[in-house]
Amino acid sequence: MSGINDFVVKFATVNGSGSASANGIFAKTLFRMGIPVSPKNIFPSNIQGLPTWYEVRVSEAGYLARRDGIDLMVAMNPQTFKEDLAEVVPGGWLLYDSTLPRLWPREDVTILGVPIAEMCAAKWQDTRQRQLFKNMVYVGALSALLDIDMDVLKGAVADQLKGKEKLVAANMDAVGLGRDYALKNFNCPLPIHLRHAEGAKGKILVSGNDAAGLGALYAGATVCAWYPITPSTSLAEAFERHAKRLRVTKDGRRLFGIVQAEDELAAIGVAIGGGWNGARAFTATSGPGISLMSEFLGLAYFAEVPVVLFNIQRGGPSTGMPTRTQQSDILSCAYASHGDTKHVLLFPANPTECFSMGAQAFDLAERLQTPVIVMSDLDIGMNDWVTEPFAWNDAHVHDRGKVLDAEQLEKFKDVRGRDWGRYQDVDEDAIPYRTLPGTHPTKGAFFTRGTSHDENARYTEDGVIHARVLDRIRRKFDTAQNFVPKPEVTIRDKSGKTGLIYFGATTPAVREALDALERDGVKVNALRIKAFPFTRDVASFCAMHERVFVVEQNRDAQMRSLLMTEAEVPGAKLIPALNYDGMPLTAAFVQGVVLKQLQPAKAAAE
Amino acid sequence: MSYIAKPSAHHPALPKNALGLTRRDYEGTMSTLCAGCGHDSITAALIEACFEMDLPAHRIAKVSGIGCSSKAPTYFLSRSHGFNSVHGRMPSISTGANLANRDLVYIGVSGDGDTASIGLGQFCHAVRRRVNMTYIVMNNGCYGLTKGQFSATNDKLSPSKKGEPNPFEAIDLCQMAIQLGAGFVARSFSGDKTQLIPLIKAAISYNGFAFLDVISPCVTFNNHPTSTKSYDYVRAHNMASENKLDYVEPKDEITVDYAEGASAAIALHDGSRLVLHKLDPQHDPRDADAAIMAIRGNSAKGQVATGLLYIAESQQDMHDILATDARPLNALPMAELCPGSKALEAINGRLR
Ligand SMILES: Cc1ncc(C[n+]2csc(CCOP(=O)(O)OP(=O)(O)O)c2C)c(N)n1
Ligand code: SF4
Ligand SMILES: [Mg+2]
């Protein structure tokens, strides 16, 4: 099934060996040739010396999920030779450094030996250079084997090493070594190779964390507090990088404040303090951080303080698999903290949505006066995706929600017909009016607290009032339905009885699987969840279908549980399709689950 | 019980400050703490200090954690916004609030449990970051609200109400604050308002992190005469005379004459001045090492060093360190914060 512009290359290297930059150049070059690519970093939770892989799927058709079965393995790590060889499809290729030749126990794989270390030793004296340029030598060999456009490759190298012209020349020398060797010794190009294409034209190549950091900047966030944790670190760093470029006055004053906090409790505390005081404030974290932030999330929920939290999910439970992906914090985020709590969640499916939903999260948080959690994950957050360019409507007015200034406070009674009280539901949308510290000399002051309070923010132990306030806050969730993004529904068969619900990073795998199923005559309608609370569309989609697959990357079918509890979908209807090995989802997995259910005999035969 | 409002009718003869406000305008709701609780005296000192300083109450933000002490902000400055957060986390809320608006006065109120145990980490880091705020610990050596367990500031061997001695070393928050870079560190006693009020004023005027550890007896759980945090003990062992301080309003002249060599005037950011006098020759509060020696020396003798223990005459606060704009971040117009579609096009270009 592989062929021109349709194959998977995998680089097996050692982390800390400098391969990341070479691999990045490779992917960028293909992208710039207009070819849809999806690079996936599979890396250890370690700084140096452990195996790391970089998988690049090439798909002119634009299928960018991870795909099993490697067509060409670049095996640079002796530690993993055995498993790397095993992954190559029959008829595939394996390139390795043949300075120390070895026998590869597979007849059905073509071995491409390139004496990389030997060539580098002959060319460079410095040991560091000898090591680093090895990576560009294999890129050079691939340029011949896969027929890479050399001008594009050179451009990508030059961009990566901007300002270091000497290094560009040296890197291109290394590319030349590998390329010449391959042209001389192998039949170039291989049957799987590249050609210019259109699919990636007009798109951008970017990671979700970079995009989300930029989204926060466009939202006007000024307070950011965070504590380092993979895979969310690069989000706060991206915010800082963009802010240092775009948010500094001519005289060097910063229009933002970033605190690298002492832990996640402090990180969310700083963000809540900022949100309470009228700044757009956020933090970014991952599983362990979510657990630590949970007490504060309950406070922000109950005291109705806007705050945005980016959760870049990773493999749990506990420290789990810090460098692998999962969607396993759905329940812990939907109901984070003790007591009756419920939080607004957004589910971006790609970096473009990390940007747009990342920005929208701030509008929602201020409109609804509550925490909003953006549920990204390691796959979207840390891998580069070919995605639609970012768009910003300059006419967009940031929704700052119901915040009263001094004049509005003075006229409140005249305009609204009653006195202001912090938690009064004046508009019957369950959203009260906020005031900020420092607004008015005599009006609008109140006490924010996580202890029970009445509609005027006064401490109470009266159970009737307590229940009344809790009920109003719950009703705010109904209002939220009108503001959160609606699900995306794809109908392939109007009278179809089978539906499938998915969200987030599994999107490319699901689309590919549903296309493949349709080609085989199995039409499945689909709904992509973009937010919690679910809008009515979710319940009606489930009502329309006899059975609905729920695709998610966790063990306990958390989204299915949420659908049962919150959209009241009967559990019998919801068929779990669960993957939780930490790897990005494949279309084959989705196809397998669907076929097993719909055509058990056929699935068994396959 | 819930919330107890105070009658709002004012006596026409009540004295007014420069803003035309009376003390009553600086009060809060009725205290629900135990009668005689030290925390209420600190509340009264805070009201007095803010009244006398002519502070516009709405430009003050009160932040606290959880505990009897952390309830106190409800009992003063009802015209100020307050935030009673979660246990031990007042420092992070204050940090974020201060980051959002550098122009307000921040008064953080915490307890010894809130600060020296559950919130010890946050306390340390707020000091390190030099958040421009006044951080008050109402220190009673116990957990009042959970019924009297020893706290980490309780002195070693100081007995509980039942007579059991505390087996653990005490954490001295003033020493920690000095070591971590607080610019203003003082210790006082809830029962000594002549010392406490000027210290509160000076702390509020100070630009940078000002820390006030106020020993504040818990009459219900930790006020037996043998407790080192009791009224009797502190009165008998208070070394307040070692260094006294006058707070001089920006508008006032320094009128008192002090003996040559026995006084020092320090100008504060807002134009007010501190006059230190009767200085122990061993202890110049501008010397951090001497300050720590004074605390330790007194403590070894069973005495409590009170007064202004340490002051750095000027300090860079968090905003100076972060180089943030002079305007409050929460007041910046979106037009300055959102770079717009053109800049985004350029970013898209770089990602192609
Ligand atoms: C996370 C958490 N753990 C425990 C408590 C229970 N608790 C409430 S107040 C308090 C101790 C307060 O002691 P301190 O800060 O010294 O205040 P005091 O009451 O003595 O003024 C504790 C442990 C809580 N509110 N939150
Ligand atoms: S228990 Fe102690 S600290 Fe709490 S209010 Fe009573 S006297 Fe004060
Ligand atoms: Mg206490």
Q: What is the count of structural domains for chain A?
A: 4
Please tell me the number of the ligand nearest to residue B66's CA: 1
The type of residue at A62 is G
- For residue B100, being part of any structural domain is answered with yes
Say whether A450 and B85 touch across the interface (CB within 8 A): yes
**Average pLDDT of the segment spanning B90-98:** 98
Gap from A472 CA to chain B (nearest CA, Å):
20
How many residues are listed for chain B in this entry?
A: 352
Q: Do A495 and A577 lie in a common domain?
A: yes
Chain B segment 130-149 residues within 8 A of A by beta carbon are none
Measured CA to CA, the distance from residue A226 to residue A134 in angstroms comes to: 37
Q: b/e for A241-260, b at 16 or more Cβ within 10 A?
A: ebbeebbeeeeeebbbbbbe
The verdict on residue B347 lying in a domain is no
In a domain, B310, yes or no: yes
The sign of the torsion formed by the CA atoms of A425, A431, A433, A437 equals positive
Residue among B146, B147, B153, B216 to mutate when testing ligand 1 (max atoms within 8 A of CB): B146
Convert the pLDDT of each residue in B108-133 to its tens digit.
999 999 999 999 999 999 999 999 99
C-alpha span between A99 and A120 (Å, rounded): 10
Question: Using the 8-state DSSP alphabet, how is residue A378 labeled?
Answer: H
**Cβ–Cβ gap B86/A389 under 8 Å:** no
In a domain, A601, yes or no: yes
Nearest 5°: CA angle at A245, between A244 and A248?
65
List helix spans (H) across B164-280.
Answer: 173-180, 193-205, 231-237
Q: Is the pLDDT of residue B256 over 60?
A: no
Task: Indicate whether A408 and A305 sit together in one domain.
Answer: no
In this complex, the residue of B1, B59, B329 whose CB is nearest that of residue A222 is B329
On whether both A149 and A19 belong to a single domain, the answer is yes
**Tens digits of per-residue pLDDT, B154-191?**
999 999 989 999 999 999 999 999 999 999 999 999 99
Q: Do the strands B142-143 and B244-248 form a parallel or antiparallel pair, or are they unpaired?
A: unpaired
ipTM of the complex: 0.96
Whether B144 is in the pocket of ligand 2, judged by its Cβ within 6 Å, is yes
Closest Cα to residue A400, out of A213, A273, A221, A268?
Answer: A221
The ligand 1 site (C-beta within 6 Å) comprises B 66-69, 87, 111-114, 138, 140, 142-146, 151
Token pair of A164, please? 């270091």
Residue having the nearest C-alpha atom to atom 5 of ligand 2: B33
Q: Which of A420, A453, A480 is the last residue of a domain?
A: A480
CA distances from A298 to A103, A113, A449, B243 (A): 60, 59, 11, 45
Dig out the tokens for B148 from the structure.
Answer: 């009297």
B164 touches chain A (CB under 8 A): no
The A residues from 375 to 394 touching B (CB cutoff 8 Å) are 389-394
Tell me, in angstroms, the distance from the centre of ligand 3 to residue A463's CA. 28
The reply to whether residue B338 touches residue A281, judged by beta carbons under 8 angstroms, is no
CATH number at residue B261: 3.40.50.970
C-alpha span between A513 and B215 (Å, rounded): 69
Question: In this structure, are residues A76 and A96 in contact, taking their beta carbons and an 8 Å threshold?
Answer: yes
Hey, is the C-beta of B335 within 8 angstroms of any chain A C-beta? no
- CB contact (8 A) between residue B347 and residue A214: yes
Residue B188 domain boundaries: 23-321
Considering the domain boundaries, does residue A364 fall inside one?
A: yes
Three-state SS string over A280-347 comes to CEEEEECHHHHHHHHHHHHHHHHHCCCEEEEEEECECCCCCECCCCCCCCHHHHHCCCCCCCCCEEEC
Using the Cβ of A51 and the Cβ atoms of chain B, whether some distance falls under 8 Å is answered with no
Q: Does B195 touch chain A (CB under 8 A)?
A: no
Q: Could you tell me if A320 and A466 lie in one domain? A: no
Contact A296 B89 (CB under 8 A): yes
| B248 bridge partner residues | B273
Across the interface, whether the CB atoms of A219 and B58 are under 8 A apart is answered no
On average, the pLDDT of chain B sits at 91
In a domain, A393, yes or no: no
Residue among B253, B146, B142, B271 at smallest CA distance from B207: B271
Determine, yes or no, domain membership for B190. yes
- Among A540, A534, A545, smallest CA distance to A499 is for A545
A590 in the same domain as A535: yes
Report how far residue B280's alpha carbon sits from residue B133's, in angstroms, rounded to the nearest whole number. 28
**How many residues are listed for chain A in this entry?**
606
Q: In whole angstroms, what is the distance from residue A188 CA to residue A13 CA?
A: 24
Q: Which of A432, A431, A430, A407 minimizes the C-alpha distance to A420?
A: A432
Interchain pair B324, A279: CB under 8 A: no
Nearest to B325 among A249, A279, A438 (CB): A249
**Beta strands A257-260 and A434-435: pairing type?**
unpaired
Contact A390 B347 (CB under 8 A): yes
Write the secondary structure of A170-203 as one string of H (helix), E (strand) and C (coil).
Answer: HHHHHHHHHHHHHHHHCCCCCCCCCCCCCCCCCC
pLDDT averaged over 10-residue windows placed end to end, chain A, 606 residues: 92 90 97 98 86 97 96 97 97 98 96 98 94 96 98 97 91 98 98 97 98 98 98 98 98 98 98 98 98 98 98 97 97 98 98 98 98 98 98 98 98 96 98 98 97 97 98 98 98 95 98 97 97 97 98 98 98 98 97 95 80
Name the minimum distance, in Å, from the CA of B110 to any CA of chain A: 15
Q: Residue B276: is its pLDDT beyond 90? A: no
Residue B334, domain member (yes or no): no
Are A378 and A286 contained in the same domain?
yes
pLDDT in tens, B31-75: 999 999 999 999 999 999 999 999 999 999 999 999 999 999 999
Q: Inter-axis angle of helices A264-276 and A287-303, to 10 degrees?
A: 30
- A239 and A157 within one domain: no
Last residue of a domain, one of A358, A387, A416: A387
Same domain, A366 and A412: no
| Residues within 8 A of B (CB atoms), A 452-471 only | 454, 458-462
Q: Domain of residue A571: give its range.
A: 488-605
**Do A279 and B89 make contact, defined as CB atoms within 8 angstroms?**
no
CA dist., res. B152 & res. A281, Å (int): 33
Task: Tell me, yes or no, whether A1 lies in a domain.
Answer: no
**Pocket test residue of B39, B66, B214 for ligand 1, highest count of atoms within 8 A of CB:** B66
Residue B159 buriedness (CB in 10 A; 0-12 / 13-18 / 19+): middle
End-to-end CA, chain A = 16
How much is the pLDDT for B285? 86
B299 to chain A, any CB pair closer than 8 A? The answer is: no
Give residues 394 to 413 of A whose Cβ lies within 8 Å of B.
Answer: 394, 398
Residues in a beta bridge with A311: A285, A375
Scanning chain B, the segments in alpha helix (DSSP H) are: 38-52, 68-71, 90-100, 112-113, 120-129, 173-180, 193-205, 231-237, 288-300, 318-322, 334-337, 340-350
Structural domains in chain B (count): 1
Same domain? A174 vs A281: no
A125 touches chain B (CB under 8 A): no
Q: Write down the pLDDT at residue A504.
A: 98
CA distances from B347 to A204, A211, A242, B342 (A): 10, 10, 10, 9
The answer to whether the Cβ–Cβ distance between B101 and A437 falls below 8 Å is yes
In a domain, A594, yes or no: yes
**Dist CA A484 CA A270 (whole Å):** 25
**Contact yes or no for A306/A370 (Cβ under 8 A):** yes
Q: Is B37 in the pocket of ligand 2 (CB under 6 A)?
A: yes
The shortest CB-CB distance from A279 to any of B100, B325, B339 is to: B100
Helix (H, G, I), strand (E, B) or coil at A245: helix
Q: Do A468 and A383 share a structural domain?
A: no
> How distant is the Cα of A296 from the closest Cα of chain B, in angstroms?
7
- In degrees, rounded to 5, the angle at the alpha carbon of residue A353 between the alpha carbons of residues A349 and A356 is 160
User: Which residues are registered as beta bridge partners of A575?
Assistant: A549
Task: Provide long-range contacts, Cβ within 8 A and 24+ apart, for B6-10.
Answer: B6/B30
Among B3, B336, B351, select the one facing A459 at the smallest CB separation: B3
At B278, the pLDDT band (50, 70, 90 cuts) reads very low
A476 and A492 co-located in one domain:
no
Q: Produce one character per residue of A188-204: b if its CB has 16 or more CB atoms within 10 Å, e if not.
A: bbbebbbeebebbeebb
Global confidence as pTM: 0.97
Measured between beta carbons, which residues in chain A are less than 8 angstroms from residue B338? 217-220, 392, 398
Q: Based on the domain organization, do A365 and A435 belong to the same domain?
A: no
Q: Mean pLDDT over residues B272-281, rounded? A: 65
As a whole number of angstroms, the distance between CA B150 and CA B154 comes to 6
Distances from the Cα of A500 to the Cα of A121, A364, A526, B229, angstroms: 55, 27, 5, 66
Asked whether residue B148 is assigned to any structural domain, the reply reads yes
Examine residue A190 and state whether it is found in any structural domain, yes or no.
no
Q: Which residues, 6+ apart, have CB-to-CB distance to A392 below 8 Å?
A: A218, B338, B340, B341, B344
Query: Using an 8 Å Cβ cutoff, are A322 and A50 in contact?
Result: no
Last residue of a domain, one of A387, A419, A438: A387
